[in-house]
Amino acid sequence: MGDVSPTRRRTSRRAFRRNLRRALLTALVVVCLLGLVGGWLGLRGWQARGNLDNAASLARELSQQVLDGETVQARRTLAALQQQTAAARSRTGDLGWRAAGNTPYGGSTLSAVRALAVGVDELARRAFPPLVELDLSTLLPSTGRLDLAALRAAMPAVSQADTAAQEVREQIRTVPTDGLQPAVQEAVRLLRTELDRLVTLTSAVRRSGALLPVLLGGSGTRTYLAVFQNLAEPRATGGIFGAYAVIQASAGRVKIVKQGAASELRSFERPVLPLSREQRALYTDLLGIYPADVNLTPHFPTAATLFREMYRRAGGGAVDGVLATDPVALSYLLRAVGPVPVPGHPTLTAPTVVRTLLSDTYRRLDAPAEQDDYFAASAKAVFNALLNRAVNPRAVAEALGTAVAERRILFWSAHAAEQRELVDSRLAGVLPDRETVNNVGVFLNDGSGAKLGYYLKGAADLTVGDCRPDGRREIHLRLTLRSTTPSSGLSESVRGLAMSGDPYTMRVLVYVFSPLRGSPLGARLDGKPEPVGGGMERGRRVGVLAVDIKPGRTRVLEVSLLTQEKASGAAELWLTPGPTPWTTRISPAPACDQ
């Protein structure tokens, strides 16, 4: 190549500098514009966040006012709430925000904030107004009667709120959370949790409003069995069916017409209703022979239908349904109704009723018949107080909500159409035959023939593992079972049959139900491999282990489970309710395609 002249070199350098200046100027303009847009979006985002924070605080205040029946204050709070949610929706809804939401960096976070703003505004405009105008007292009995006409009149408002809440919940469920800023990701999680709670409440009230007029005798007198689960002797749904009451409902008025003890129904030579091969393999014929064993299965409709048939064969006649509850549920209700006297016995109070019924009773009363009479009288006293006292609707709603969430109140209807309405609620106690998350069940049955269940404390940890090449997951369950049983001094009725070989050692039969189409893989007890018996129930494989726990001792049971293919990373635990609520922890995992 020849030499380049100095003139041409100077011309090239000037062109290069011009192009560089143009490029730098263009870049500077772009950066400035991005900075301006980013600052504008940041300001708008900061303002929207302030609106949403204010809305969250107002929503909590509104909830309290609605439950306390403070309608005037609730209307003012709702107006302020709607102003905040409308502002958040407006600030995240213009073209600039939406365009930024389509960018690869940070766009998903902006889109999620927009979805949050729209969701809470929809709640404020559509779900909350009908709830503010709802008179909750119409949903509770007064002087032993529920006003069915007022209940029917309230239902359109509840249905409107439930429909809106469910629609918003579905919208928020579709918001992707991967790659979001941590604060926004947490906000999405919290809103989903709150929406689940809201929908649980509104759908339960909606369902109740549709069913209660019929259930409470609006179309003819109804009769029900109310059974008291004695948690001192564990069964899968809580405890053995002990005392029972016959409840009659007519035109909204409810009263107890008869009481008795399950032991009076006697045992039967053969199952009172046909049992499946799977049921007999897991529980033998005991399920259909002894009233105290109908709920060896956690599937409450099975237990209820068997107990109903036993009552009928014992001369009690047909009933329209079965309701079950326990002393812990009574303690929740006593928080709302206050102390309740029981003639000839200690007054029942919220802090002491569980100990009174499940421990002190066996020291005061020796004869099983006396104990059953006392349990029946206690349940009747709390029942009558709830029906006839002036109570705070918020307190009652919280008590019933907690009891139903813990499956301490269960109901089965003998009328198929009504049962279909109930089947998806926790109230039904139905072992589900379909699922979108991994449902794992841990159910306890007493193997001691004793009343040592009051002294059992439990904790459960559930961890969802990574995806395997075949699309399944391993789930790791860790149960910690501790006995606080004293080493001496218990009455004969508590020590019972001592089937563990020692009157003070409790034997717990642990039934671990796998997710649908899954299976138990193996177990370790206190770190050592433990053989697992098994069977099937309602499409789930069941592992069965017997665990003996001496006074003051703790046993640790670890069970590995396998899910079906393409299983979700989410999980839920279904546990036998006990005298002391379980301590639980669930560790989910990301979806397999993430």
Q: What pLDDT was estimated at residue 116?
A: 82
Q: Which of 2, 91, 16 is nearest to 47 (CA)?
A: 91
Contact by Cβ (8 Å): 303, 294: yes
Domain boundaries defined on the chain: 21-215, 222-419, 433-587
The pLDDT confidence band at residue 431, using thresholds 50, 70 and 90, is confident
Residue range 176-196: average pLDDT? 79
Q: Which fold has domain 433-587?
A: Immunoglobulin-like (2.60.40)
The pLDDT confidence band at residue 392, using thresholds 50, 70 and 90, is confident
Residue range 584-591: average pLDDT? 89
Q: Which fold has domain 222-419?
A: Aminopeptidase (3.40.630)
Question: pLDDT digit string (tens) for 326-345?
Answer: 999 999 999 999 999 998 89
Residue range 295-302: average pLDDT? 98
- First-to-final CA distance of the chain: 58
Q: What are the strands, taking DSSP E only, across 473-527?
A: 473-483, 506-513, 519-525
Question: pLDDT digit string (tens) for 46-104?
Answer: 676 777 778 777 877 887 787 777 889 989 988 998 898 888 888 777 666 655 555 55
> Where is 462: in which H helix or E strand?
strand 456-467
Name the 3-class secondary structure at 584.
strand
Question: pLDDT digit string (tens) for 510-564?
Answer: 999 999 999 999 999 999 999 999 899 999 999 999 999 999 999 999 999 999 9
Q: How far is 460 from 481, CA to CA, in rounded Å?
A: 9
Model pTM above 0.75: yes
- In the chain, % helix, strand, coil (3-state, to 5) comes to 50, 25, 25
Sign of the dihedral through C-alpha 577, 578, 583, 589: negative
Q: What pLDDT was estimated at residue 147?
A: 85
> Where is 535: in which H helix or E strand?
strand 533-537
Quickly list DSSP for 378-421.
Answer: HHHHHHHHHHHS---HHHHHHHHHHHHHTT-SEEEESSHHHHHH
Contact by Cβ (8 Å): 352, 307: no
Residue range 441-450: average pLDDT? 96
Q: How far is 102 from 111, CA to CA, in rounded Å?
A: 8
The pLDDT confidence band at residue 566, using thresholds 50, 70 and 90, is confident
